[in-house]
Amino acid sequence: MFKKRIVVIAAALLACQALSAVAADTKQVEVMHWWTSGGEAKALSVLKDQLKQEGYAWKDSPIAGGGGEAARTVLRARVASNNPPDAMQMLGFSVQDYAQQGLLLNLDNVAAKGGWATLIPAPIQRFSKDDGHWYAVPIDVHSTNWIWANKKIFDELKLTPPQTFDELVADADKIRKAGYIPLAHGGQPWQEATIFDSAVMSAGGPKFYTDAMVNLDPKALGSKTMEKAFDQMRALRGMVDPNFSGRDWNLATSMVINGKAAMQIMGDWAKGEFANAGKKPGVDYLCMRYPGTQGDFIFVTDQFATFKAGDDRQAGEYAFAQAVMDKNVQAKFNQVKGSIPARLDVPSDGFDECGVKSMSDMRAALKSGTMVGSFAHGQAMPEASKTAVYDVVTHFFNSNQSSADAVKQLVTAVENSK
């Protein structure tokens, strides 16, 4: 009798423990991302704090590697073993890919309550939805057609922001002669692709960019204009230092911050590194649009997709999605990250001059219908074509291939990837 009672009590205790473990678990949201640089981590803490305020603990699953290739690989493995995180940072077509496999949690209710449909620009919504339903929530809008420059070097050499690509080439010459590295670059395929975004836009403008990179029109891909984009890549290759291979993007940014190099062509997450180092735009560094792309806006939007992880976890995932879209979070997060809010109703107060410029560039591009997605960051063409173009661009950048041959290879690679 006594023994039986002990067994019953022990069983009840175990059940309690199990219950509280579940309870603890559902009060926690696991978030996978690749924001591991100084500026990125600081921005993320804004979101973490908000989630905490909503009563949920943040389980952090960072996977280092700019551009997110490594994180996407880990995600695929976790999905394959039926253990996805609650939320994952995603770019472009990935959201639709996972939604179509039936793996993502539908966010329609949260979106309707929050009025997302009217707050978020249409080109951004395109990557939050599949078949008319919301599966992801955007936290930011970056753009890739930027140059970040060391102001002291520019002042010393009496340089002003180059307005044409030829001017950039002439400036690079002066910079090298003065003993500085003209262009800080990290030799990783995604970073070369990021530069290629700008080169294509500069060579042909938004319509050409759309024909080639979004519509994958063989005529545009195989054109003389595309050859010009590769010519620019060749010239840029001549501006980097010999140790560029494999360098992380934020280390390249440090070279500009420390005055070893004069410029970096990179999305405005680079601004988060300047800010994190206590540097101010217009004082320590300059932000300028890549020559020939003034007023153009090649966007990258970081979104979080929520995975179906069981009924008991839904409340946490909804709370997380709400936190991402919180007006205050979008203001503070983006001021630190270097991007601009994905909500159109966040005022520009508190954003620095580069942020204010980005906001007005995006609004102008929205009006004229020329806001185009970044090829490099998966928002122009589907994954298979993106990978094929990455290979062509990186091969070109790291060889002596001619622009004419690269263009031919580009057409074939894209055709084969479709």
Measured from the CB atom, is 104 or 139 closer to ligand BGC?
A: 139
Interface ranges with ligand BGC (CB under 6 A): 34, 40, 66-68, 91, 142, 249, 269, 300, 302, 377
Measured from the CB atom, is 154 or 290 closer to ligand BGC?
A: 290
State the nearest-atom distance from the C-beta of 142 to ligand BGC, in Å.
6
State the nearest-atom distance from the C-beta of 163 to ligand BGC, in Å.
27
Measured from the CB atom, is 40 or 227 closer to ligand BGC?
A: 40
State the nearest-atom distance from the C-beta of 100 to ligand BGC, in Å.
22
Helix axes 311-325, 38-53, angle to 10 degrees: 120
Residue 74: CB atoms within 10 A of its CB come to 16
Measured from the CB atom, is 171 or 268 closer to ligand BGC?
A: 268
Contacts of 343 (CB under 8 A, 6+ apart): 119, 120, 325, 327, 330
Q: What SS3 class is residue 147?
A: strand
Measured from the CB atom, is 142 or 151 closer to ligand BGC?
A: 142
State the nearest-atom distance from the C-beta of 219 to ligand BGC, in Å.
29
Q: Which amino acid, 31?
A: V
Asked if 338 and 271 count as a contact pair (C-beta separation under 8 A), the reply is yes
State the nearest-atom distance from the C-beta of 346 to ligand BGC, in Å.
18
Measured from the CB atom, is 387 or 412 closer to ligand BGC?
A: 387
Quote the CA–CA distance of 11 and 18 in Å, as a whole number. 10
State the nearest-atom distance from the C-beta of 181 to ligand BGC, in Å.
21
Measured from the CB atom, is 65 or 259 closer to ligand BGC?
A: 65
Helix axes 403-417, 383-397, angle to 10 degrees: 160
Give the DSSP H/E element, type plus range, for residue 129.
Answer: strand 129-130
* C-alpha to C-alpha distances, 84 to 61, 96, 98, 104, nearest whole angstrom: 11, 16, 11, 10
Measured from the CB atom, is 141 or 159 closer to ligand BGC?
A: 141
Measured from the CB atom, is 46 or 300 closer to ligand BGC?
A: 300
State the nearest-atom distance from the C-beta of 36 to ligand BGC, in Å.
8
Residue 404: CB atoms within 10 A of its CB come to 13
Quote the CA–CA distance of 340 and 278 in Å, as a whole number. 19
Q: Which residue is nearest to ligand BGC (CB)?
A: 269
* C-alpha to C-alpha distances, 283 to 10, 155, 160, 172, 223, nearest whole angstrom: 67, 11, 14, 21, 41
State the nearest-atom distance from the C-beta of 89 to ligand BGC, in Å.
7
Asked if 351 and 340 count as a contact pair (C-beta separation under 8 A), the reply is yes
State the nearest-atom distance from the C-beta of 82 to ligand BGC, in Å.
26
Quote the CA–CA distance of 132 and 99 in Å, as a whole number. 11
Quote the CA–CA distance of 371 and 127 in Å, as a whole number. 14
